[in-house]
Amino acid sequence: MDDEPTLGTLEWCKLTGISCLVVGKIDSDAHQFVTRLGQIVKKMPWIVQDLLKIHAIDLIVDSTMDAIRAGSKKLAKKMTKTTSFRVNLNRRDTDLDRKELLHEVAIQFPGKVDLEDYEFVVAVEMLGPVTGLALLREEEIVTLRRL
């Protein structure tokens, strides 16, 4: 692995106060970082024994419907009308309605919602007062299954 590109440097990492959820910032492109990490983990799954899922976040907004709507609209500019997508919503420490959130996020994107055969995942990660939003391809989500 000496001739392979590095992942980048971790600038900071911290616990969120939400059980089993850690956030961090790296000094390189987060999408490339996760894709590269996924490739490494396929070859050497033992190097990340305690992580279950890793993905990039493109925007961090306030956990209000208006801010989430505006952030979604900004991400939607990266998508075409012929693109299919699904919305993955993880709500933590919020009272905002799940169905309303899913609807408000989905209508911002020009493509078609398809829960099974999609090109992109619109990730909405609500962490109390802040929400992370991301537009991801499947290879940009690293999931480590435990038996």
Domains along the sequence of the chain with CATH: 10-143 (3.30.2300.10)
Answer with the residue of higher pLDDT: 47 or 80: 80
- pLDDT classification of 53: cutoffs 50, 70, 90: confident
Could you tell me the pLDDT band of residue 40, with boundaries at 50, 70 and 90? confident
CA distance 50 to 38: 15
**DSSP E strand stretches across the chain:** 10-15, 22-26, 53-55, 59-62, 84-92, 112-113, 120-127, 130-136, 141-143
In 20-97, which ranges are continuous DSSP H helix? 30-43, 65-76
Work out the average pLDDT over 22-46: 88
The Cα–Cα gap between 29 and 106 comes to 25
Confidence at residue 4, expressed as pLDDT on a 0 to 100 scale:
59
State the average pLDDT over residues 88-110. Answer: 95
Q: Which two tokens stand for residue 17?
A: 């106060």
Global pTM value? 0.87
The label of the residue with tokens 């699904």 reads 86
Task: Give the integer Cα–Cα distance in Å for 106 and 110.
Answer: 9
What's residue 147's pLDDT? 40
